[in-house]
Structure 1
Amino acid sequence: MSSDDNLCLMKSCFESSAACLECAERSGSHEGCATQCRINAELAGVTARLMSLKAPEVNTLVDLVIKSSKKCADICSQHKNDHCQACAAAARNLGNNLRGYQERAAG
């Protein structure tokens, strides 16, 4: 994988993390989407940090982040407010980018 690809993936991770944290904070609760948003934000952030270190362990984490991102997007997309919609879009984008990463790594 090129360093440009790696930077794009890290950016996607950080964007999802930021959108998820914003959503969790604005939702004002610790249940429902807020909990999943916090989980996804942490997983996305640690994934970006491990990618920056070129840690081989990041590959183990990618499947988990894809699942977490999908769950986050599925939950938040059901809500009409802007922060949930932004979170869902960022989480979906992260999942798509990580699936592409897996396909390139396998090919």
Structure 2
Amino acid sequence: MALQQIDPVSENDEMAECIDNCFEAAQACEWCATACIREGDEDMARCIELCRDVADTTTLHARMMARDSDYSSDLAETCAELCEACADECEQHDADHCQTCADVVRECAETCRDMASA
């Protein structure tokens, strides 16, 4: 049986896009945080912290949307705020991984904000 036949999210394009963006943001943030750690620059501490927070929060938000939780819209607002804070921080750094992460989490923030108001 195909997932689309049993998945209530598959009928909601906006939610499906947000789930995809959340998982992509988590991946970008994990990659960015790891790269920052490996660089060993103490100025990257805030970037690492925010990236790790976003990775955890976006993953949880995606899982809650997938199970159609009544609380996912509440988490969507927090997720959007964290993504925006992370993007603001990443944009301050010249590293390619930070710039890429900023772009990805900004897109995630937008779709999470849409889900919060849905």
TM-score scaled to structure 1, two decimals? 0.89
Choose the corresponding residue for 1:79, options 81, 89, 93: 93
Unmatched 5+ residue regions in structure 2? 1-8
CA displacement 1:23-67 (0-9 Å, x = unmatched): 000101582200110001100000001111011111111111111
TM-score (norm 2): 0.81
The number of residue pairs the alignment matches comes to: 104
**Structure 1 stretches of at least 4 aligned residues deviating more than 6 Å after TM superposition:** none
Q: Aligned AA for 1:35?
A: E
Q: For residue 74 of structure 1, what is the amino acid of its counterpart?
A: D
Q: Is the counterpart of residue 92 in structure 1 residue 106 in structure 2?
A: yes
What corresponds to 1:9 in structure 2?
18
Are residue 102 (structure 1) and residue 111 (structure 2) matched?
Answer: no
Structure 1: gaps (5+ residues): none
Q: CA contact under 8 A between 2:73 and 2:115: conserved in structure 1? A: no
- Number of the residue aligned with 2:29: 20
| C-alpha RMSD of matched pairs (Å) | 1.6
- Provide the residue aligned with 2:74 in structure 1: 60
Which of the two has higher C-alpha Rg? 2
Superposition deviation, residue 7 in structure 1: 1.3
The answer as to 2:43 corresponding to 1:34 is: no
Identity across matched positions, percent: 30
Matched residue SS, 1:32: helix
Distance 1:46 1:9 in 2: 12
Question: Quick check: 2:74–2:116 contact (8 Å CA) kept in 1?
Answer: no
Q: Which residue of 1 aligns with 2:84?
A: 70
